[in-house]
Amino acid sequence: MAFTIRNLKIRDQILLVTLPPLFVLLCAVALFFYAYWSAINTEHAALRSKERVVRGESFLRHATEASMAIRGYVFTRREDLVTAYDRAIKESQADLLTLSDLDAASPGESEEVARIRVEFDQMQSQWAQPTMDKLRSDTEFNKDKALSDGQTRLADIRTKVLKLRSEDEGENLGEMEGAEKVIKRMLVVGITLAAVLAGILIFLTGVVTRLIVAPVLQLIHASEQVGRGDFSPDLPPVADNEFGVLSRSFSQMTTALQREREEIASLNRFSEAVTQCTSEVEVYDLLLHSLKERFQPRQAIIFKLNAAENYLEVAATLVPLPKEEGAWPVIEEPHNCKAVRTGRSFVVNDVQLEPLCPSKFILPTEGSYYCGPLIAGGIIIGSMRVEAAPNLLTPERQRLLEGYLSVAASALSNLRLLDRMKQQANIDMLTGLYNRRFLEDYARKLFAIARRREQPVGVIMLDLDHFKSFNDIYGHEIGDRVLRHFAKAVTTCMRETNLAARYGGEEFVVVLPDTSAKASSLVAERIRKAVMTMVVPSNTEKPLPQLTVSIGVVAFPEHGQTLEEILQASDKALYDSKRGGRNRVTVAATPD
């Protein structure tokens, strides 16, 4: 029974509990109405019996009055006694009519009343009326016999009436006793039925209460478990009622919460790991690895936007690109990428049924793919395409994927901002060359490498001749212009592996890795000649005078073992050029 009741719906379980008391109530109402009907019938029967007794006594009284009126008339011959007789006869007949109506429902009593009526009529027709007729006609007759005959007839009628009254009283008593027995029987049956139904009700209430309360308590405990982070709660057993549906829904919700929590934890781990990346390549590799672990895509391609040359370049891929695309893996027009053009994700659930991206860059021939923009600070810095099986990229997976792309885009933007800040911290804003701090850090690292490899490092120190007086005459604006042109002339005379820096004011330093002092002097000489031929616009009709530069050349480790010694030696060689007449290159003498 418990299993059957457990599979009932809650409404049916409640009905199972409420129907017994409703049935008891209906039975009680039925018993009440039956008792009320029995009481009414008993009361009516008693009233009818009482009425019959009264009418019987009234009939006997009126019949006796009629007989007495005839007897009086026999002795006195008074006409008023005849009138009394007639009145008594009418009232007797009325009593008999009433008795007939009252006994109509009882055939036996009705027949008895009919016999009484016949005898009463015979008493009138065969005794009373003949007697009065004989007295009026003065006919001789035996008075004693007539009176005796009337007495006998009245006695017979009285006997029958008394018998009928006795039967009515017995019937009335029997009906009362029967009604009392019925009421007692109904009371016993009602109490027994109520007790049985009460027991059934208590049993069913207990069973249904347990079946309702137990799942509710289990669900409450399960919700507390989920709130504490336990996603394997004890749920109510599977049933075909609302608790079964609620249990399945709760299980699905718990599974979804667990999956969402795992996804959030995975995204947090990715976010924490990506903040530790020091290069864009490292971010790309981490993003591809995380997407492979989480989504198992067939292919993932990261595009990097080159805003200067206006194209999207493949920065990293999960699966290597075909050879024919490897030489120039770009989308020549960024706006052909729908994600870049709209700034929103673009999803194709089935490449064989839906229109594809207009970029036409190695589009998949089956399955589905997702293309989303990489946006940082409201600026699109690239996009990413993820290819998977058909209809695998559900809206939930798309939101998670967008979370990964958002974190990666922020990390890439931060790295680029950091690189920009580093460049700004290491670059002289006026000339675009490196500043003194970067020069010293770079030179120390370069000297350490050169010492291990036993390679020379050339150092050239330059100083514009008479720049202070030139600056005073033509102004700082022209002076700044001269410094910018001078920096450009220096960088055009050296290789890309060399480094030029503004050391301070009008002094500059050029570092040449793996270059001897002699070779460095050749570079210095090219710079000196380039400065002499340098043309700086003056914004006036009068051109600026020719500029010259004094140069000192040294080499590591020939002229010193430390940066300070090298700079001191180059500064000394520079001043030798100054003292020697300026506009010349001086190679520092070796300590030997």
From CA 572, how far away is CA 566, in angstroms rounded? 10
Per DSSP, the three-state class of 240 is: coil
Closest CA to 257 of 221, 222, 289: 222
- Alpha-carbon distance of 35 to 507, in angstroms, equals 128
Q: Are 558 and 517 in contact (CB under 8 A)?
A: yes
Helices H, strands E: what count in the chain?
Answer: 16, 11
- Name the token pair of 566: 């090298």
Per-residue tokens: 559: 């002229």
> Taking each helix axis from N to C terminus, what angle separates 129-136 and 10-76, rounded to the nearest 10 degrees?
20
Provide the 10 A C-beta neighbour count for residue 387: 24
The distance from CA 141 to its chain's CA centroid, rounded to whole angstroms, is 120
- The C-alpha torsion from 95 through 97 and 103 to 104, rounded to 10°, is -170
Asked if 52 contacts 102 with a C-beta cutoff of 8 angstroms, the reply is yes
Pairing label, strands 379-388, 346-348 = unpaired
Cα(132)–Cα(74) distance, integer angstroms: 8
Phi and psi dihedrals of 452, rounded to 5?
Answer: -65, -35
Residues 6+ apart with CB under 8 A from 272: none
Catalytic residues: 506
Q: Which are the contacts of 341, defined by CB distance < 8 A and separation ≥ 6?
A: 334, 335
Instruction: For residues 8 and 14, give the distance between their C-alpha atoms in angstroms, rounded to a whole number.
Output: 10
Distance CA 536, CA 534 (A): 6
Q: Is the CB of residue 388 less than 8 Å from the CB of residue 367? A: yes
d(Cα 574, Cα 582) in Å, to the nearest integer? 9
Q: Cβ(264)–Cβ(290) under 8 Å?
A: no
- Please list the residues that pair with 461 across neighbouring strands: 509, 552
Rounded Cα distance, 292 and 279, in Å: 20
**To which H or E segment does residue 34 belong?**
helix 10-76
Residues 318, 319, 325: CA angle, nearest 5 degrees: 115
Q: Name the token pair of 285.
A: 């590799």
Tokens of 198: 């009460």
385 and 345 in contact (C-beta within 8 Å)?
no
Tokens of 389: 């099986």
